[in-house]
Amino acid sequence: MSEKFYWEAIRDALREEMIRDPNVFLMGEDIAIYGGAYGATRGLYEEFGEERVRDTAISEAAIAGAATGAAMLGMRPVAEIMYADFLTLAMDQLVNTAAKNRYMFGGRTKVPMVLRTEGGAGRGIAAQHSQSTEAWFNHAPGIYVVMPATPYDAKGLLKTCIRDDNPILFIEHKMLYGTKGELPDEEYLIPLGSADIKRAGKDLTIIAYSRMVLVSLEAAEELAKEGIDAEVVDLRSIKPLDVDTMIRSVRKTGKVICVSEACRTNSVPSELISVIQEHAFDYLDAPIKRVCGADVPIPMSPTLEEAAVPRAEDIVQAAKQLVR
Amino acid sequence: MATPVIVPELGETMNEATIVRWLKNEGDIVKKGDALLEIQTDKAVLEVESFASGTLLKILAQAGETLPVLQVIAFIGEPGEKLPEVPKAPPPPAAPSRSVPEMPATAAEAPVPQAAPAPPVQRRFTISPRAKMLAKERGIDPTKIAATGPDGRVIERDVVAYLERKGYDSLLISPTARRLAADLNIDVLDLKGTGPAGKIVKADVLRAEREKPRPLSQTRKIIASKMVKSAREIPYFLVTLSVDMTELAALRERLNKERTQRISYNDFIVKACAFALRSFPIVNAVCLGESYRVNESIHIGVAVDIEDGLIAPVIRDADRKSLDQIAGESAQLVEKAKNKKLRPDEFQGATFTISNMGMLGVESFTAIIPPDQAAILAVGSVTDSVVVHDGKPVVRKIMKITLSSDHRILDGATSARFLNEVKRKLEDPTWAG
């Protein structure tokens, strides 16, 4: 075991897969010479060269489209979109082409690509560089969405995604790159559609993903001081969704909070709540709560930015109302 | 302008009716006079006819629904016509305001057939799905549980606390009994165990199911309220006589040999009472509290035992009908009564009632005075009995009759005299021969 940064875990996963499979290559803005905006591809250009670590033009559509094409022709590209906010420019390639081609070509092609990106607020870089856009892709059939919260999860999941034959959106969080975690030295994989109980508890269930997992754990600590024992479920995969783990927890506690940094309306929690009431209505002791970002563009002012997304105390408040 | 179809008011004391079934569908063309639907009111099923011709545009109330009188239940008009808003039916009025002055109701009185005044506004019982599931699993009634959840909702911890308070876990109950109780929605905490050491077994649950209170049928409710009214308002006394029916029995046999429509003992009694009522009009009256009314006509109700209760079809103007007419009519009315086909005018308006339990071997009994009358005659069976005649024992056919009288307008002497007149008419039936 060794302690690594989240960005290192990403980098190691990429490196290991590139060694393992010569078809894996990287493309994106500033990923080669610069080593990635957050350091996730640092050193890879030096190790693998410009054919396999490619700096692209500033064109998200081109990045996504080229990756799609390369994947259809037998490569396993890991393309990067520097900010999840810019996925909008790549939407058509991702949603209409990458996501649909396997189906529309009757299975005669496949699109084994990973699209890495990062999102989230916390760096004060305002509305067009701080969004959480996963809900848009959760809604598009054919493309999958993975959002690891820890270095351990990031590495295990990224390797799995690269080996998977489907187009997968791998969304990192800009504020997580600097977090640390213990990683095994030997190889390990985490399957898709596998949630993780980050903290077992019996009084209520908090379902979260990405950075909100850490915020939820912080809230759980606070709640524990007042004798409220919260279970924190880290989804890890948004799609495919580990319904079983989620429902098992709901059935155990009967009280649920779904957390997301994204805007509240039509967020992933909206979908989770629908699924929960479908599978566990009779087990609910109270209506399900959503703790989400406000339906606003992320402000630039640090104070406002902080207030626009869920904080630990928001989760603590919601939990207290639930168990009152 | 579309014509509304309303629940008709078919009797002074009728406040509501239940729709049995619609005979026409939305969109059907109907003519004035067509039967539109069947309703159940009091104790009979009636057809409601249309007072307009046109298309049945919209049906607002369905079979099974109970609605107050005058409530709009459908519209007839031209297709495409705009239909007016129909306000939700108010609960039928507590005081029988439509009642004629002869029934001055006291303020708190519940009218016939309305059961009770509108209940006070109650908070809706709410329970979380989890708590509901737990209560059901344990076979207990959640409405008894004190709620501590938001908005007065019963939540899981409330059920848990309740179970503990009631010592649920130390309850001795077989798994079969527990499951059965949950399925039948019987609260296991209400059960008395008859198994070993007081264990609750399947039989106990089944017994509780059989003993579950069942609601009174519409018919029974109506009967019950009339009886309560009578018991509450009419101070009654009884007068009993024995009638020697030997002569009448012989006459009856002779007359029936020559007839297809047989004459029953009761037919004779109806006629005899009719005569007596002519002679004692005060018995053909009704007390209205501070006043009383002597009825001009003599309409005699004959109590008939029907499926879920009793009803008394009326032989109108019994004093002006022959014995044969009375026999024919009463046979018809009894038939109709048993088939629930009596029209309101056929069971309303009696001025005196006869209840005969002779065919059930009853010696004598007390009948309850219908609230709109002053007296009722209870008739027992005709039995061969030993009586004294000229100092010697003889066997005669004896029938006991008991008159219940409203002591507000009838005194013992009057009732006795009336009853003696009935007895005279029956013992000397030359008027019938």
Mean per-residue pLDDT, B275-292: 96
What is the model's pLDDT at position B81? 81
Q: Which residues of B touch A285 (CB under 8 A)?
A: 128-131, 155-156
Q: Which residues contact B263 (CB under 8 A, 6 or more apart)?
A: B252, B255, B256, B323, B324, B327
Q: What are phi and psi of B378, to 5 degrees?
A: -105, 125
Lowest model confidence (mean pLDDT) among A67-81, A141-155, B60-74: B60-74
Residues A179, A32 share a domain: yes
Local confidence band at A105 (pLDDT 50, 70, 90 cut-offs) = very high
222-261 in chain A: CB under 8 A from chain B = 254
Give the end of a domain, one of B60, B77, B94. Answer: B77
**Looking at A145, A162, A183, which one is the last position of a domain?**
A183
Q: Is the peptide bond before B150 cis (omega within 30 degrees of 0)?
A: no
| Interface contact flag, A284 B150, Cβ < 8 Å | no
Same domain, A164 and A226: no
A284/B149 touch (CB, cutoff 8 Å), yes or no: no
Of B210, B244, B275, the position where a domain reaches its end is: B210
What SS3 state is found at A261? strand
Is A34 in the same domain as A178?
A: yes
Please give the structure tokens belonging to residue A51.
Answer: 């054919």
Indicate whether A117 belongs to any domain: yes
The ipTM (two decimal places) reads 0.77
Give domain status of residue B328, yes or no: yes
Task: Determine the Cα–Cα distance for residues A245 and A141; give it in Å rounded to an integer.
Answer: 22
pLDDT at A180: 98
B380 inside domain: yes
Residue A10's Cβ-count burial label (10 Å; 0-12, 13-18, 19+) is: buried
Contact A146, A192 (CB under 8 A): yes
Domain co-membership, B194 together with B320: no
Residues A62 and A162 in one domain: yes
Which range is least confidently modeled, A175-179, A207-211, A301-305, B337-341? Answer: B337-341
Whether B128 and A282 lie within 8 Å, measured CB to CB? no
Is residue A318 within 8 Å of residue A290, measured between CB atoms?
no
Query: Per mean pLDDT, which range of B107-111, B265-269, B303-307 is the poorest?
Result: B107-111
Same domain assignment for residues A90 and A218: no
Q: Is the same domain home to A155 and A61?
A: yes
Produce one character per residue of A282-307: b if its CB has 16 or more CB atoms within 10 Å, e if not: bbbbbebbbbbbeeeebbeeeeebee
Indicate which CATH number applies to the domain containing B31: 2.40.50.100
Which of B36-40, B276-280, B344-348 ranks highest by mean pLDDT?
B276-280
Given A151, A183, A215, which residue is the final one in a domain? A183
- Residue A292: beta bridge partners? A260
Whether residue B150 lies within 8 A of chain A, CB to CB, comes out as: yes
User: Is residue B98 predicted with pLDDT exceeding 60?
Assistant: no
How high is the pLDDT of residue B124? 81
Same-domain check for residues B173 and B284: no
Return the closest-CA partner of residue A234 out of A274, A284, A176, A168: A176
| Closest residue of chain A to B131, computed from CA coordinates | A285
CATH code at position A166: 3.40.50.970
- Name the residue facing B131 among A281, A285, A324 (closest C-beta): A285
> Residue A256 belongs to a domain with what CATH number?
3.40.50.920
In a domain, A40, yes or no: yes
Residue A293 placed within a domain: yes
Q: Within this chain, do residues B181 and B57 fall inside the same structural domain, yes or no?
A: no
| Better-predicted residue by pLDDT, B87 or B348 | B348
- Rounded to a whole number of angstroms, the distance from the CA of B132 to the nearest CA of chain A is 8
Instruction: Tell me, yes or no, whether A190 lies in a domain.
Output: no
On whether both B228 and B203 belong to a single domain, the answer is: no
Whether A285 has its CB under 8 Å from any CB of chain B: the answer is yes
Q: Are residues A77 and A218 in the same domain?
A: no
pLDDT tens figures, B148-185: 998 889 999 999 999 998 888 888 888 899 889 888 88
- Name the token pair of B26: 């939305």
Whether A31 and A120 map to the same domain: the answer is yes
- CB contact, 8 Å: B130 with chain A? yes
Q: Taking CB atoms and an 8 Å cutoff, what residues of chain B touch A281?
A: 129
pLDDT of residue A31: 96
User: Do A9 and A128 share a domain, yes or no?
Assistant: yes
**Mean confidence (pLDDT) of chain B:** 88
- Structure confidence at residue A16 (pLDDT): 98
* Domain span including residue A106: 2-183
pLDDT, average across residues A302-306: 97
What is the pLDDT at residue B166?
87
**A162 shares its domain with A59:** yes
Percent of chain B residues topping a pLDDT of 70: 90
The answer to whether residues A181 and A6 touch, using CB atoms and an 8 Å cutoff, is: yes
Domain count along chain A: 2
Q: What is the pLDDT of residue A275?
A: 98
| Residue B94: count of CB within 10 angstroms of its CB | 17
What is the C-alpha to C-alpha distance for residues A250 and B418, in angstroms, rounded to an integer? 81
A293 and A155 within one domain: no
The verdict on B241 and B376 lying in the same domain is: yes
Using omega within 30 degrees of 0 as the cis cutoff, is the peptide bond preceding B281 cis? no
CB atoms within 10 A of CB B433: 9
User: Does B99 reach chain A within 8 Å, measured CB to CB?
Assistant: no
What is the C-alpha to C-alpha distance for residues B381 and B359, in angstroms, rounded to an integer?
6
**Best to test chain A binding among B130, B134, B158, B160 (most A CBs inside 10 Å):** B130
Q: Within this chain, do residues B351 and B421 fall inside the same structural domain, yes or no?
A: yes
Neighbours of B4 (CB within 10 A): 19
**Pair B369, B230: CB distance under 8 Å:** yes
Q: Residue B112 above 60 pLDDT?
A: no
State which amino acid sits at residue A35.
G
Tell me the one-letter amino acid at A312.
Answer: A
Beta bridge partners of B237: B405
Kindly state the tokens that stand for B214.
């069942």
- What's the rounded Cα separation, in Å, for the pair A215 and A316? 10
Handedness of CA B345, B348, B351, B354 (dihedral sign): positive
CB contact under 8 A, A285 and B150: no
Q: Which residues contact B227 (CB under 8 A, 6 or more apart)?
A: B368
Q: What is the pLDDT of residue B387?
A: 95
Say which of A254, A281, A324 has its CB closest to residue B156.
A254
Q: A108 and chain B: CB distance < 8 Å anywhere?
A: no
Q: Are residues B19 and B151 in the same domain?
A: no
Angle (nearest 5°) at CA B30 between B29 and B35: 140
- Rounded to 5 degrees, φ, ψ at A118 are -140, 150
Position B106 confidence tier, pLDDT thresholds 50, 70, 90: very low
pTM: 0.64
Look at residue B88 and tell me if it is in a domain. Answer: no
Residue of B nearest to A286 (CA): B128
B192-219 average pLDDT score: 90
Q: Any CB–CB contact under 8 A between A175 and chain B?
A: no
Tell me how close the Cα of A200 comes to any Cα of chain B, in angstroms: 20
Domains of chain B: total: 3
Q: Which domain holds residue B166?
A: 129-210
pLDDT band at B89 (very low <50, low <70, confident <90, very high): low
Among A17, A118, A129, A172, the active-site one is A129
CA distance B127 to chain A (A): 8
For A287, the closest chain B residue by CA position comes to B128
B300 and B269 co-located in one domain: yes
Please report, rounded to a whole number, the percentage of residues in chain B having pLDDT higher than 90. Answer: 57
- Has residue B185 been placed in a domain? yes
The SS3 call for residue A118 is strand
Give residue-wise pLDDT tens across range A234-261. Answer: 999 999 999 999 999 999 999 999 999 9
User: Within a domain: residue A247?
Assistant: yes
Contact B128/A at CB under 8 A: yes
Domain contains B275: yes
Tell me what the mean pLDDT of segment A65-70 comes to.
98
Residue B139 — pLDDT band, cuts 50, 70, 90?
A: confident
pLDDT in the model for residue B90: 53
- B368 and B232 in a common domain: yes
| B334-380 residue pLDDT tens | 999 999 899 999 999 999 999 999 999 999 999 999 999 999 999 99
- Write the CATH number for B231: 3.30.559.10
Residue B233 shares a structural domain with residue B185: no
Q: Is residue A215 part of a domain?
A: yes
Q: Classify residue A159: in a domain, yes or no.
A: yes
The verdict on B159 and B230 lying in the same domain is no
Same domain, A179 and A298: no
Whether B130 sits inside 8 A of A324 (CB atoms) is no
Local structure of residue A92 (DSSP, 8 states): I
Q: Report the pLDDT value the prediction gives residue B109, as an integer from 0 to 100.
A: 42
One-letter amino acid for residue B151 of the chain: D
pLDDT attached to residue B107: 41
Q: Identify the domain boundary among A183, A215, A231.
A: A183
Q: Which residues of B are catalytic?
A: 407
What value does the mean pLDDT take over residues A105-133? 97
